[in-house]
Amino acid sequence: MRFDEKIGIIMGGASGIGKAVAQGWAARGGHAVVVDIAKEPGGDVVAGIRTAGGRATFVLCDLGNLEQIDDMVRSVAETFGRIDMLHNNAFAPWKGIDAHALIGDVSQPNWDHVLGLGLNSPFRATRETLAVMSRQGGGTIVNTCSEAAVRALPYIGPYSVAKAALTHFTKLVAREYASQGIRCNAVSPGVIDTPLIAGAPLDDEFISKIPLQRIGRPEEIANVVLFLASDLASYVTGEVVLVDGGHTL
Ligand code: NAD
């Protein structure tokens, strides 16, 4: 699996799953464009890739701001002349007091934040990137959904809804753009050891409900993202791959 001469945008590439994807993409010859709101960790990821002999660039962007997304995609296309892979992956939970709430208690800012980052941002980045990929005759898009997309998870309703919509969006893009040589797939992680789940109550009882008896590592999601983005998956489109240790079985 090689990505030589290919340009990949990894949204939320400063941490967790996105960081592992950026590292894996660059280790296989691709140029990783790490897009994140977190400047220092993003710069560290890029520095680490370069030290290891890979190619990477950091782009500061608040993916909650749709105009910034347009500018980011345009500037990457102008700088590198093409975009071969887009990984829609960034997310940060709502930090307000109703972060965990029944739908009847979800505030509008909570709903708007989660649907904004979880759905509007991938839509906008995809829309802008599709124009570039259509012009160049192809490309691949991989979205990070969640097991919360296949189960109606209580107390994180906006997240569950956003990720479910993103799976449908994945299939829609796949269907509409296949004729232009563009594949669109998604990965749906279970519980993965990243800063996103810091503080989550992962006790023995919870772990015992995962058939593989542990939470996952970011690299285990990245491996599937990279496979879907690669030519090895040349006949795969519109697919949403659950990578959850069997949690949803
Ligand atoms: P993470 O917190 O390690 O990484 C998320 C990255 O997104 C961070 O670098 C963060 O700075 C960036 N980000 C957040 N808001 C941003 C914004 N407004 N603009 C630009 N960048 C922003 O989390 P992770 O676990 O690696 O999550 C990656 C994806 O995986 C998310 O879409 C998440 O919903 C999904 N996911 C994670 C798990 C899990 O258990 N960790 C499970 C299912 C799905």
Q: Which residue has the higher pLDDT, 201 or 159?
A: 159
Residues with CB under 6 A from ligand 1: 12, 14-18, 36-38, 61-64, 89-92, 117, 144, 146, 189, 191-192, 194-197
pLDDT tens-digit profile of 144-156? 999 999 999 999 9
CA of 18 to the centre of ligand 1 (A): 7
Q: What is the average pLDDT across 51-65? A: 98
Residues above pLDDT 70, as percent of the chain: 100
Q: Which atom from ligand 1 is nearest to the alpha carbon of 193?
A: 41
**Domain residue ranges in the chain:** 7-242
pLDDT at 178 over 90: yes
Q: What is the average pLDDT across 159-171? A: 98
Q: What is the average pLDDT across 181-193? A: 98
Q: What is the average pLDDT across 87-113? A: 97
The C-alpha angle with vertex 100 and arms to 196 and 14, in degrees rounded to 5, equals 15
pLDDT score, position 74: 98
Give first-to-last CA distance, the chain, whole Å. 29
Ligand 1 pocket, mutate which of 10, 11, 17 (most atoms under 8 A from CB): 17
Mean pLDDT for all residues in the chain: 97
Contacts of 154 (CB under 8 A, 6+ apart): 102
pLDDT score, position 37: 98
Which of the residues 155, 159, 177, 235 is marked catalytic?
159
Ligand 1 pocket, mutate which of 21, 160, 196, 207 (most atoms under 8 A from CB): 196
Class of 7-242 in CATH: alpha beta
CA of 179 to the centre of ligand 1 (A): 31
Question: Is the alpha carbon torsion for 218, 167, 30, 132 positive or negative?
Answer: negative
Ligand 1 pocket, mutate which of 67, 91, 163, 224 (most atoms under 8 A from CB): 91
Question: Comparing C-alpha atoms, which of 31, 138, 142 is closest to residue 87?
Answer: 142
Q: Is 159 a catalytic residue?
A: yes
pLDDT tens-digit profile of 124-150? 999 999 999 999 999 999 999 999 999
pLDDT score, position 199: 84
CA of 36 to the centre of ligand 1 (A): 10
Instruction: Answer for the pair 119, 169: CB distance below 8 angstroms, yes or no.
Output: yes
pLDDT score, position 85: 98
pLDDT at 31 over 90: yes
pLDDT score, position 201: 84
Q: Could you tell me the CA-to-CA distances from 52 to 24, 28, 45, 49, 94 in Å, in that order?
A: 11, 12, 11, 5, 35
pLDDT at 175 over 90: yes
pLDDT score, position 200: 87
Residues above pLDDT 90, as percent of the chain: 97
